[in-house]
Each structure stands twice: as structure tokens, then as C-alpha cells.
Structure 1
Amino acid sequence: MARHECGFEAPIHCKKCGRPLDSNERTGLFCPHCGRRVSILCPGCGRLW
């Protein structure tokens, strides 16, 4: 489960390989398997993840 800084948690999966994404404050959302970086808006607060 990826967790945003506002506290919102969601199971987000990579579109490229289908594995769960990890969340890091410095890098944002990324896939630890294929290395893809993802930019989405948080449904909880509307800011960039």
C-alpha cells in the first residue's frame, strides 16, 4: 500500500508490470521491480503524489 504525506493510503499498481508501487518522500511513487516513476494526483488532498 502506498501512503501519501496527507495520510491517504491506496493499493496502487504499476501499469507496466502490474506489481505494487512503493512510496518514498524523496522520490514519490516508483515501481521497485521495473524502476518506473509515477506521477498521480492524490485522491485524498488533490496534490501531486
Structure 2
Amino acid sequence: MLYYALVFLVVALVAGLLGFGGIAGISASIAQVLFFLFLALFLASLVIRLVRGA
């Protein structure tokens, strides 16, 4: 999931450099959503691991 967030970030950067503002904005939004989803899942798995004591 983090990989896809980085891919959309790169797409947004390239589209921004080439002047495609709409595509850059959408790609950046998708990258942001995927990153925060990854972060939430990572923190949830970390808390579950600490609770179980493994």
C-alpha cells in the first residue's frame, strides 16, 4: 500500500512538472489517502501486537 502511495506521488510530481494541474491534484489526493490508510493500519497492527505481548 505504501508502494502505491509513492507511485501516485511520483505521478503527481511528474504531472505537475508537465503542467497537468488536474491530474497532479487528483494523484496527490490519492497518494495522501493511501498514505494515511497505510499509517492507520500500521498503527493498528502495532497496538494489537503490543496488547498480545508477542
The TM-score, its normalising length taken from structure 2, stands at 0.27
- The structure whose RCO (Cα within 8 Å, separation 6+) is larger is 2
Larger Rg: 2
Higher helix share: 2
